[in-house]
Amino acid sequence: MIEGGCLCGAVRYALSKPALRTCLCHCEDCRKASGAHAVAWTFFHTGALEWTKGIPKMIRFAERERSFCGDCGTPLMFFDPAIPHLFEVSTCSLDEPDRFPPEDQCWLVDALGWSGAVHALPRYDETSPLPE
């Protein structure tokens, strides 16, 4: 069983089928919906998901459904009715996201200009220097 949930713990879910594929999405909609420069997603077959605690909020934008915690805002799920046999869970809402590393990057047509250079930035194990 694969499990996950939101930051505040109000919404939890479980997946009864294996992950099919992973990706790191740079599309503008994912960026806006998350506030992050890219979003890691893990694909499952429709029907694999059970909400085990709480009920997420859902918005329909650009004819696609995005579920998120109504209390803390964590993005949880993406569903495109044009691809009804699949849905995506936000990899970083999974309890063990390191088990699902992205296999590719998609929607690079929308990627921010600096997103390809982040690996070369100075690195800190914890917080970086703060401005005065």
Q: Using the minimum distance from each CB to Zn ion, give the nearer residue, 82 or 120.
A: 82
Contact between 69 and Zn ion by CB under 5 A: the answer reads yes
Contact between 110 and Zn ion by CB under 5 A: the answer reads no
Contact between 71 and Zn ion by CB under 5 A: the answer reads yes
Q: How far is the CB of 6 from Zn ion (least distance, A)?
A: 3
Q: Is 14 helix (H, G, I), strand (E, B) or coil?
A: strand
- In angstroms, the CA 92 to CA 4 distance is 9
Q: Using the minimum distance from each CB to Zn ion, give the nearer residue, 2 or 78.
A: 78
Q: How far is the CB of 84 from Zn ion (least distance, A)?
A: 18
Contact between 8 and Zn ion by CB under 5 A: the answer reads yes
What end-to-end distance do the CA atoms of the chain give, in Å? 47
- The DSSP call for residue 27 is -
Residue type, 91: T
Burial of 74 (0-12, 13-18, 19+ CB in 10 A): buried
Size of the site for Zn ion (CB under 5 A): 9
Which of 2, 4, 6, 90 is close enough to bind Zn ion by CB under 5 A? Answer: 6
Contact between 83 and Zn ion by CB under 5 A: the answer reads no
Q: How many residues does the chain have?
A: 132
- In angstroms, the CA 77 to CA 97 distance is 14
Q: Which parts of 23-62 interact with Zn ion (CB under 5 A)?
A: 25, 27, 30
Residues near Zn ion, by CB under 5 A:
6, 8, 10, 25, 27, 30, 69, 71-72
